[in-house]
Amino acid sequence: MIPNATIDLLSSPDTRPARSMTTVLVAEDDAMFRRILEVRLQDWKYEVISVLNGAEAFEAMQADNPPEMLLLDWMMPVINGVDLCRRIRTLNNAIYPYIVLLTGRDAKHDLVVGFDAGADDYLTKPFHADELRARLRAGARIVALQRELIGTREQMRFYATHDIVSGVWNRRAMVEFLTREVARGHRHREPLGVMMIDLDHFKAVNDTFGHATGDAVLQQVATRLVESVRAYDVVGRYGGEEFLIIMSNTSMDDLKSRAEKICEAVSETTVRSGDSDIRVTVSIGATVSRSGAELPEERLLHFADIALYRAKQKGRNRVEMCDSL
């Protein structure tokens, strides 16, 4: 005999287009009821993940991209729905999963137990398809709001650590990176390279072409710097027309070779802004801490700055090195 809950789900077909693309996990040990839920959810344009018991559901919630909404049967083998709610709430998921418990229990005490365990909503079997869809829509609104809040948070985090004009790391982030890399280099007895990079005659660019063009120059130079170093090297804007590059586990010769390639990469192609082609060059001062040397980050920056001053004094568009010891 088909349960009443199943009969209700099969009734009242809804042909209205659904807008949600939320992922829903269905944990239900009754094969027929689980399949009916799958079909209905897919008709409503949800992405569906189906599991047979609470243990499989808990494993799915520990994946890299776990489901955002869950339909959990109360009575399941291995881990029941209420215990599963409690376990899920101990996970540190980026998205708070919206949980709907499905059960034949309808006592007030059971409802309280379900909510105390971490459920967000509760449907008593038998229930109608329209009621289920309404509950899912409410959950989808919560999930959508979470996505928006997380997006805003990530945007704020980006603005807090990146330079808005050039798109690379900002000064504060670079100082933090350098502090960590100095400690790591000392701990692992690895040399650490630092480049201080200055755009030559940048004030003349702003004065001649305007600050909008100056910003375009900064953006394109930053792009060339990033493209000229290793994927795990760190590039940031240190201030004004100065950039800083941190290169872990590099020798003085390797650092000098990389710096010279950067000079070439910047100077060999003009920067296009509007109708203007602007030739840009950079001066670079670089230094390397000796393997395992306990050299404060302020001293590394000081030596790189000394080398940069030499590069400017010798005519710009060149690389100068400074031994850190």
Q: What are phi and psi of 250, to 5 degrees?
A: -135, 145
Q: Where are the alpha helices (DSSP H) in the chain?
A: 4-10, 31-43, 54-60, 81-88, 108-117, 129-161, 171-188, 202-209, 211-228, 252-267, 297-313
Grouping H, G, I as helix, E, B as strand and the rest as coil, residue 111 is helix
Q: State the CB neighbour count (10 A cutoff) for residue 30.
A: 16
Q: Mind giving me the DSSP string for 14-73? A: --SPP----EEEEE-S-HHHHHHHHHHHHHTT-EEEEESSHHHHHHHTTSSS--SEEEEE
In the set 28, 68, 241, 297, the catalytic residue is 241
The verdict on whether 241 is a catalytic residue reads: yes
CB contact at 8 A, 29 and 74: no
Q: State the CB neighbour count (10 A cutoff) for residue 6.
A: 18
Which one, of 218, 209, 270, lies nearest residue 240 by Cα? Answer: 218
Torsional sign, CA 14, 49, 140, 155: negative
Structure tokens at 66: 């776990």
Q: Cis ω on the peptide bond leading into residue 126 (within 30° of 0)?
A: yes
How far, rounded to the nearest angstrom, does the alpha carbon of residue 60 sit from its chain's CA centroid? 21
Give 157's contacts (C-beta < 8 A, 6+ positions apart): none
CB contact at 8 A, 67 and 40: no
Question: Which residues are marked as active site?
Answer: 241
